[in-house]
Structure 1
Amino acid sequence: MKKKFFFPDSYESGIRQIMRIMKLTTLCLLLTVLSLSAANSYSQQLKLNLNLRDASIIEVFNEIEEQSELGFLFNNDQLDLKQKHTIKVSNASISEVMGMLLGGSPLSYKMIERNIIITQDNGVLNQQEGRNVTGVVTDEEGFPLPGVSIIVKGTTTGTISDVNGKFSLDVPANSKALVFSFIGMETQEVKWDGRGVMNIELRTSTIGLDEVVAIGYGVKKKVNLTGSVATVDTKIIEDRPTENLLKSLQGTIPGVTIISRPGSTSINIRGRGNLKASEPLYIVDGIEVSSDFFQNIEPGAIKDISFLKDASSAAIYGSKAAYGVVLVTTKEGEKGQLKIDYNGTFGFQKPTYIPDVLNSWEYAEMYRTSELNSGSTEDGLRFSADDVEQYRLGSNPDLYPNTNWFDEVLDEQAAFTKHSLYLSGGGEKVNYIFGLGYMNDESLTPGENNERFNFSSKTKADLKDWLEVTSNINFIYKKYKREQGAAALTEFLRVPPTQVARHTNGEWGSVRNARKATAAEINANPLRTLEEDGRANTDTKHFLGTMNAVIKPFKNVRINNQVGYRYWDYRHFSFKSKKDGVPNHLNPSDGIISGTASEVNQMNMDWRYSEKLIYDGWINYDNTFEGVHGVGLMAGMHADTYTSKRLKVGRKNFGSNDMNAISGGSTDPDDQITTNKVDGNFALGDDFLEESTLSYFGRATYDYKQRYLFEVNFRADASSRFAKEGRWGFFPSSSVGWRVNEEQFLSHVNWIDNLKLRASWGQNGNINNIGLYDTYSTFASGGTGYIGGGVVPVLVEDRIANENLTWETTSTTDIGVDFMVLNGMFSVTADYYNRLTEDILIRANDIAVETGIGKESIPARNVGEVRNRGFEFAVNHNNQVGEVSYSVGFNASKNKNEIVNLGDNVNQLPPDGYFVLRKGESIGSFFMYEADGLYSTDDVANGNVVPYGKQVPEAGMVKFVDQLTEDTDGDGVPDAADGVINEKDRTIVANDVPDFTYGVNLDVSYKNFTLSAIGQGITGVKVYMDNEASQAFFNSSVPREWQLNNWTEENQGAHYPKLFKETDDRYKYNSIASSYWLFNASYFRVKNITLSYKIPQQLVTRAGLQKAKVYISGDNLFTIRGDQRMKDFDPERSSGRGAQIGMKTFTAGVSITF
């Protein structure tokens, strides 16, 4: 069937009608084009000036209509009438304004004549097609932002906005969102639905202003703090290859000095405030923990760390916070499905330094020189010239060895491994996080290593709208294992390179200095000690469990009840093995050399245990009235009870060196090693200690418009350490702050983010130096008495009680300023502090001899005073240049320490070795003879020599300074020297505590790469290298290479005195403790450099992961030393002779989130 066409009326009339329609259509099109042309001409000529803030879209339309002849046609259902717009333009076209107004929405507009019609954007494409996206990025004021990073989420595809804030980006198919980021602005993730225009407004970031900081029993916005509180970005510690949390914090906090010495790490906040211990208080999730617990927390478990440095911020902890508080808050789970985070580090460690010791022929030649200088003749020398040559040739190592004991005993490098695994997640009511950690820190000594296992869990449940319960568990298990004997640095230095370690036939060395070695010399062989001396291990367990219930009975009220249990278990085992004797290599027929065998083995065990039960309850009320008056109130109580036990036992004569049970030893009473009292490190026995504390505390805060800030704190503590009458200590504090930038006269200065002035005063206490039972007398058996005509033993009072003992009290005044500008681009924090510690416990020697009280029985009294004054500051800068973002920071602190009082009429306490405590001087003062270089031949020729007692020094010997000790004019001030070096000439010459510390940090990111670095340094500090560490031949020690530059008549500018043999009085004279043997321990050390790379998101997604990062890192990479003499010691080492070797660490790692 054919299709028919229908025309009305007739065929002809239909044609005519079509023609009329075409004519009318043509006319309409022509009129429309003319109209559009006129409209376009008008729109192109129209220029708008708009300055609107937080205006609705209707208000913007009205303003445009007011300035033009334009009208708007729209459907209300199409518009978001609640959205606010900020537009600030001058001489802008209507297309620019409409682009800013509708950008980022599915709306578009059409202009017909002088009407603007708002329509749905028909230009939105299917996401799978991909397209070019353009737009403008502005700030809240409507100004364009250049340098904004625009990245397609999950890819490396991106671009940067130009100087006008404009950008153009080809967005791949299936892209979900674009990410806009800029330093100082909040990063925005904008969903992409295929549209081609996206105009974005970025808002100023509040980071650094709204950042919440942990304080005692609560949190507070950092911007509202009135005390001196420093926080640490936990990113700094996450990837660092350290076995110790404190080491990871070096150089990051102003006013906090952390010295990472081999085997130990020390910390002081604002100087040493006490004659003894002055360590801060450590708080983890509201519970006090030990320094060892804190240092071994797995870094991945930490949410934030705060350092409370002044008395105002720390006073809420009262008696235990005199030297600052370190607050740690651990992470919580987040709402969402299960997330798994893994971080693994693998690497190795090498020594930061190894002493540069002499080889055997250098040693022999130097020893010859010392003997010749001491008057020996050639035939009486220990080493002949031929011996020196034989050592140099090395053809007979059984007689002429060249033993480097560091090479013989130590490995070149040691492995370091660290892993952590965290599982977290949660729902509407419950969130959780579980963590596991493992670290294996090998030693350079074979068979020696440290392992650590960490477990943590935190579960938080909203059981009711008014009840929130959190349970928290932390468990740390450390294992130190030494499968062989100990190898100490001192032992390496005491054995010369001319002693055989092991003969070529495998026997232990029995030759030293080309002769038969003595039994003592053979037994000092470090390699034999390592392999045969025995073994040891130490297990340490820390457990911390808390349960916290938060009740919210009313709006703005929170009642906290927290119960904590802390447990510590320490078990040390050591076994001294039997050893076979060493044969006489030079004369095998003599058999075993007498005294080289050990026929008795011995086992010692030391078990220590402590537990602490803690309760904290407090109520918080926070509210703001009329939008301007901020009020906060907090009151609470604390109670704890502490128990400690210790048991030490030992036995001899075990059937085998492989036995591990104490019961396997001899039951003979003579082989039982035990006493009835634990005393020091060696005596055996048992101890039991108990202590309890009760506290009440409170805080009140007020702010007016967050402009004027006020805070007061109070704490009252009672301790069982004191007698009943002096048991309570009271510790108040107050602080004020003024946010100057909130004042009306600075309201127009938009580039200042924060300018806050603050001041505080407060008091804290300290009981760490007071024994648990110092208020009680102790008795011991001793002496005799006569009863009934017979002599009987009696008890005597060996320690006199002091019932007047009370708290050591620290008062601190702090004045500070916080300054931040340009959206956080630059920030400065500075503080001045003055801290006085009073009533320090001292056994002062100001009791008259006539009382009959001996030094050991003098009761400790609260008579000491120490002052610390100083300043500290930190400067930080953040910026983004193109695709590079960076941050750089510098912090520094200078501290002056002074002993103010040591008791009535006491100017100085008896010296403790080469240290002394003297009124007006610093703690850690070296008390020794002052040296002025070495005597020259001219000094001797001119009679410019001061005798040491009856000994007259020679050229090349240390030149002691004859101090002004004589008062010739009777004014009480010494004005003349007495012409002889004696005890009166000992003086304070230097200090072993740095007076200036500083740190620098740098973080640079480019695309997926991030480079971070931390440096740390100290100045104004000396270290004393005692005996073997600095003096040739002391205890047969091995000279160091720097001592080759010793004094001769041709080399009078040498670093080392004239050589003498160790039995010579002139050698002993040179070895006297003096400033000559002090070395400059100032340094700057690159503590860490880490380079990381984030795996591209598309690769990560394909692998089924959320994110992944790989990194390489190094710790203690290089050091700039202040010392220019020895040069082969670690400047972070302590004074003394036996410091261990420091380590530098190189690692590679991966961080993955599933």
Structure 2
Amino acid sequence: MKKNPYCHKLHYCSLQKLTLKLLLVISILSYTSATVYASNNTSTSIQEEKKITVTGNVTDQSGSSIPGVTILVKDSSIGTISDIDGNYTLSNVPQGSVLVFSFVGMKSQEVNVENNTEINVVLESEFIGLDEVVAVGYGIQRREDVTSSIASVKAKDFVKVPTPDAAQLVRGQIAGVSVITPDANPLSTSQISLRGVTTLSSGSGPLILIDGIPGAINSVSPNDIEQIDVLKDGSAAAIYGTRGTNGVILITTKKNKGEIEPSIEVNSYISTQKIIKKLPMMTTAQYREKVASGKPGAMDQGADIDWVDEILQTPFSQTYSVNLKGGSSKTSYIASFDYTSNEGIVKRSKVDMIFPRLNVIHRMFDDKLKIDASVSGYHRNYGIPYNNGVYQNALIYNPTTPITDENGNWTESAREMYENPLALLNETKGENKITNLRMYSAVTFSPIEGLDIKYLASRETYYHFSGYYETKQHRSNVIMGKNGYASRTTNRSQNDLMELTAHYKKLINENHSFSVLGGYSWTNNNYQSAFMDNYDFPSDDYSYNNMGLGAALKDGSAGQSTVQNENKLVGYFGRVNYNFKSKYYVSASVRYEGSSKFGDDHKWGTFPAVTVGWNLKDESFLNGVGVLTSLKLRAGFGVTGTEPGSPYLSLNQLNLGGYGYYGGEWVNLLRPGTNPNPDLRWEKKEETNIGLDFGFLEDRISGSIDVYKRDTKDLIWGYTVPVPPYLYSNITANAGSIRNEGIEVALNLVPVSTQDLIWNSNINFSSNRSELIALSSGKYKSSGYADAGNTLAPIQQPTHRIQEGEPIGNFYGYKSIDIDADGHWIIEGEDGNPKPIVDQQPTDKKVLGNGLPKAYVNWNNSVSYKQFDLGVTMRGAFGFQILNMAEMNYAVPVNLGQGNIMEKAYDNVYGKRPLADDQELQYVSHYVQDGDYWKIDNVTIGFSPKLKKVEWIKGLRVYCSVSNLAVFTKYSGIDPEVNVQGLTPGTDDRYRYPSARTYTLGVNLNF
């Protein structure tokens, strides 16, 4: 029998089989209801006819069997579905009746029974395949029924790249979703931004749900993921209430449902990396030229060291993933185990991870009861986290300074922020161990056709232990006399979730389809942490494992602290979907949610949503448009909310402070620690989305266009208040608003499709503008702006300003327009006239650019020719600027006295002359550069040999790939892909871990 593509290619053995069973229930109900409208004569004639048993098999045009096909006796309630091999048996079939065969993605077919006891059917493909079933809030829908802005990426379309988290699997695949990897640190996770900045002080990341359970983007192995769905607009995310304001990412892991022989899948790859670009710091020879020319601060210490090369290594990373699955018609299972060891290009940056997972699904009582249970998690182990001073000091450390002195001790300087990078690497010890355990169980009861009652309970625990030690040879002792410093930190969090839902679907008279969802959700989050440190140890031998030995504890100089907080979230939610003839759609949902983080009068919020859709393709006025495959117009409106980060801002918080004389002795007094705000409430985001889905030439050309507007109101922000009546001058309150407007376009093309050669191409574009509308309200006033970011020492100025009426992300500083004859900056004053930098005033500062890209463009291509496949992903960001903090600090002659500087420090500025040797560091527009870029992000070549003589191997693919292959940009820094989150986007941190190019060789094996 042929390998079943509907289990493997179209992921039938995942969430889709549940959809098919629901479709069967709907179909049976619809035909039951339809009998009310059938003529009595027809009904009587069927009852009087002889009844037989019909068997058969259902296949597609290639001859592959199709499981889950709905087979119904027309105008009756008699029906069944085909099994895993496409076989079916249908009893009590009246002779002379008609069988209706239907399957999502296939054209329905009607067959007269007559006297035939065996009927085999070949179904033809339609344009909406089974793989177009997408996940929505608390359920699934066919793509053609979706009226919100939802994007879906299947495992077969993931970006084939070694990745520490799931986000990079869909990087560049979804319009409006930017996935940024700002460095090559193996401990870094991707930054995900969805439709711009919607909040000022709360988290900006989307809600991540893994099989319906909240989690982190790196808490599931990328090898375990079957599908990723993104709920982009407010109408799709509103059913998640306060958690959905930044969008929702639904991750569905691989599951096995149905009868299947045990099989093993092995995925493994090895990779290495190479630094993409080094900052052009002066070589030893160039540095000595400055010494010879008498440049201030240059000092020849006799050595010849490339400090950046000294801290780098050629890393080796490896991943091994084993997946075992099997099952009977009643019980199925899948077990997987992943091991990954990732090394970074900087020495001593390495992380080891394991991801175990077990999922079991069991059905009983004629499939009326289903139990879905899973245990998963990860263990992450690494040494000390990357010290961002290592790379920075490798750049600026004097290239003529020897690594060690004549006694073998590290060369050090007493100057702050100037440390021997190899000493930083080698004179610290430590370990970090993170264990995450996720357990859930879901019980689904289907007492009648069309009704599913589901109870889900889960617990996620997270434990992090950190130990850190600086030896007696560390700078902390050499310069500050710490004589050995140790610290220990532990963090533990526990997240409990319980949900009860009921879902009912029904089809009436083949024209009216509706579904109703109702549910209750309860979440409790608890966090605990403890910290202690000590120093002045008698020996390095104990490091952080005998904290009491340090003398600082006895002197009262050691530190210790503990923290615990807890919060609860409770929600009631419901949704109604209705469509008429699969032509007109309407959906409405509401969530009523309460949080313990808010004041007594504002603990509950209501989050409604409504969407409508119109399938124009089925209208009579488009019947003659032969090139048109699909055309649907949709519109939606939804409200979501945002919680603050801290759980106790609305309450009186007490601190110890000061002493009072009571009962004949001095006692430590309790006093209020903050201004409570019992009126603290939700931020609310109202979003309107209008979209158009289209397809032409049998979907050889297809895509979507979305236009949206999002207004976030009642922003949570810190405000200055008078004292009195307030105890303190600051309070966290609600005021102000942000507006986001944007457009997203996705275009899917199949330029070539032959028996041997298939070329799929995807292009998507998105543009967004985030603007601060107001920062004040009637009760809480502000100056209309707030500064954010910091250039750090020695400049010590904010980098950005958020201001009413201006887009978020604006750089704000002095606009340099020239240099004078002596090499000092000339800036544009408040009045627009030139003035010397020494006469600068805060009012001279201006908007210098914006760190948020105005547009993202992604182009993904996959080509398969016989047994070969090629994947090329490219992406770019346009219309934004980057603050090059490395050049601002290292491309200035005055810093030669602080260590090494860049070659360009002595280049002419504005075509005149170099900066003066005494021109101090300044934050000016000269260092705010255009950041536009286009990247060839990944190229993968694969080969799948045919192994007809090796029966026990079902599939084999070997591949090689290069990630971060090339970048086209005018930006002079090491990489234009920088942070785009929060209120300070576009800042190229001078401490950043370098970017790298990754080379990978891998194998996928099924047997």
TM-score range, shorter chain: 0.7 to 0.9
Preserved contact between residue 868 and residue 896 of structure 1 (Cα < 8 Å)? yes
Over 3 Å counting, the alpha-carbon distance change for 1:788 and 1:577 in structure 2 is closer
Question: Displacement of 1:794 after TM fit?
Answer: 4.8
* Residue of 961, 964, 969 corresponding to 1:1113: 961
2:169 is aligned to: 248
1:1056-1087 CA-partner distances (Å, limit 9, x unpaired): x72444xx3xx21xx22121111222211122
Q: Distance in 1 between matches of 2:150 and 2:170?
A: 15
* Residue of 558, 566, 576 corresponding to 1:690: 566
Q: Distance in 2 between matches of 1:1044 and 1:527?
A: 28
**Matched residue type, 1:761:** F
1:161 is aligned to: none
Preserved contact between residue 1029 and residue 1137 of structure 1 (Cα < 8 Å)? no
* Aligned pairs for 1:405-484 within 5 A: 405-411=307-313, 413-465=314-366, 466-482=368-384
**Matched residue type, 2:373:** S
Q: Does 1:1024 align with 2:883?
A: yes
2:113 is aligned to: none
1:711 is aligned to: 587
1:72-105 CA-partner distances (Å, limit 9, x unpaired): xxxxxxxx9999999xxxxxxxxxxxxx9xx99x
* Residue of 767, 771, 778 corresponding to 1:894: 767
Greater mean alpha carbon deviation, residues 859-868 or residues 327-336: 327-336
1:983 is aligned to: 842
Over 3 Å counting, the alpha-carbon distance change for 1:483 and 1:880 in structure 2 is closer
Q: Does 1:956 align with 2:823?
A: yes
1:1088 is aligned to: 938
* Residue of 643, 651, 654 corresponding to 1:776: 651
SS at match of 2:874: strand
Q: Distance in 1 between matches of 2:278 and 2:995?
A: 9
Q: Does 1:340 align with 2:264?
A: yes
Q: Does 1:491 align with 2:416?
A: no
Q: Distance in 2 between matches of 1:312 and 1:1078?
A: 38
* Residue of 420, 441, 444 corresponding to 1:547: 441
SS at match of 2:383: strand
Q: Distance in 1 between matches of 2:959 and 2:852?
A: 35
Q: Distance in 2 between matches of 1:1036 and 1:979?
A: 22
**Matched residue type, 1:235:** K
SS at match of 1:1098: coil
2:211 is aligned to: 285
Preserved contact between residue 579 and residue 597 of structure 1 (Cα < 8 Å)? no
Over 3 Å counting, the alpha-carbon distance change for 1:581 and 1:632 in structure 2 is closer
Q: Does 1:1006 align with 2:862?
A: no
Question: Displacement of 1:1028 after TM fit?
Answer: 3.4
1:404-447 CA-partner distances (Å, limit 9, x unpaired): 10112211x21121111100011110111001111111122333
* Residue of 881, 884, 892 corresponding to 2:757: 884
2:192 is aligned to: 267
* Aligned pairs for 1:907-1056 within 5 A: 907-912=783-788, 913-932=798-817, 934-935=818-819, 954-964=821-831, 981-1026=840-885, 1027-1032=888-893, 1034=895, 1036-1047=898-909, 1053=911
1:1013-1071 CA-partner distances (Å, limit 9, x unpaired): 11121112222233535545537142223334234xxxx526xx72444xx3xx21xx2
1:323 is aligned to: 246
1:755-800 CA-partner distances (Å, limit 9, x unpaired): 0000000100110x24200011223344677889999875443311
1:274-328 CA-partner distances (Å, limit 9, x unpaired): 1132111111111111xxx322421221111100001111111011101100001
Q: Distance in 2 between matches of 1:790 and 1:546?
A: 55
Q: Distance in 1 between matches of 2:228 and 2:462?
A: 23
2:738 is aligned to: 866
1:797 is aligned to: 672
2:458 is aligned to: 564
* Residue of 875, 900, 915 corresponding to 2:747: 875
* Residue of 679, 689, 702 corresponding to 1:814: 689
**Matched residue type, 1:1039:** I
Over 3 Å counting, the alpha-carbon distance change for 1:370 and 1:721 in structure 2 is farther
Preserved contact between residue 316 and residue 714 of structure 1 (Cα < 8 Å)? yes
- Which stretches in structure 1 are left out of the alignment for 5+ residues? 1-79, 87-99, 105-183, 187-199, 373-380, 388-398, 511-516, 583-593, 676-682, 936-952, 967-974
**Matched residue type, 1:986:** K
1:1058 is aligned to: 914
Preserved contact between residue 354 and residue 1129 of structure 1 (Cα < 8 Å)? no
Question: Displacement of 1:210 after TM fit?
Answer: 7.1
1:504-557 CA-partner distances (Å, limit 9, x unpaired): x783465xxxxxx755599822123322x2112211122111100010011100
Of all paired residues, the percent bearing the same amino acid is 24
Question: Displacement of 1:844 after TM fit?
Answer: 2.1
Question: Displacement of 1:1130 after TM fit?
Answer: 4.8
Question: Displacement of 1:241 after TM fit?
Answer: 1.4
1:1137 is aligned to: 990
Over 3 Å counting, the alpha-carbon distance change for 1:850 and 1:645 in structure 2 is closer
Q: Does 1:310 align with 2:269?
A: no
Over 3 Å counting, the alpha-carbon distance change for 1:773 and 1:766 in structure 2 is same
Preserved contact between residue 776 and residue 784 of structure 2 (Cα < 8 Å)? no
SS at match of 2:736: strand
Q: Matched residue pairs, number? A: 870
Q: Does 1:1153 align with 2:1003?
A: no
Over 3 Å counting, the alpha-carbon distance change for 1:849 and 1:1019 in structure 2 is farther
**Matched residue type, 1:1014:** T
Q: Distance in 2 between matches of 1:240 and 1:744?
A: 46
Greater mean alpha carbon deviation, residues 477-486 or residues 1074-1083: 477-486
2:716 is aligned to: 841
Preserved contact between residue 501 and residue 509 of structure 1 (Cα < 8 Å)? yes
Over 3 Å counting, the alpha-carbon distance change for 1:223 and 1:1032 in structure 2 is farther
Question: Displacement of 1:924 after TM fit?
Answer: 2.4
**Matched residue type, 1:710:** V
Question: Displacement of 1:708 after TM fit?
Answer: 0.2
Question: Displacement of 1:238 after TM fit?
Answer: 6.8
Q: Does 1:647 align with 2:530?
A: yes
2:542 is aligned to: 659
Preserved contact between residue 467 and residue 544 of structure 2 (Cα < 8 Å)? no
- Which stretches in structure 2 are left out of the alignment for 5+ residues? 1-53, 64-104, 108-120, 789-797, 980-986
Preserved contact between residue 241 and residue 1113 of structure 1 (Cα < 8 Å)? no
Q: Does 1:524 align with 2:453?
A: no
* Residue of 624, 633, 636 corresponding to 2:516: 633
1:106-125 CA-partner distances (Å, limit 9, x unpaired): xxxxxxxxxxxxxxxxxxxx
Q: Distance in 2 between matches of 1:977 and 1:803?
A: 50
1:365-388 CA-partner distances (Å, limit 9, x unpaired): 34666847xxxxxxxx856xxx7x
Preserved contact between residue 572 and residue 593 of structure 2 (Cα < 8 Å)? yes
Preserved contact between residue 674 and residue 685 of structure 1 (Cα < 8 Å)? no
Q: Distance in 2 between matches of 1:211 and 1:674?
A: 63
Q: Distance in 2 between matches of 1:522 and 1:325?
A: 41
Preserved contact between residue 209 and residue 222 of structure 1 (Cα < 8 Å)? no
- Using structure 2 for the length normalisation, give the TM-score: 0.81
1:825 is aligned to: 700
Q: Does 1:765 align with 2:641?
A: yes
1:589 is aligned to: none
SS at match of 2:181: strand
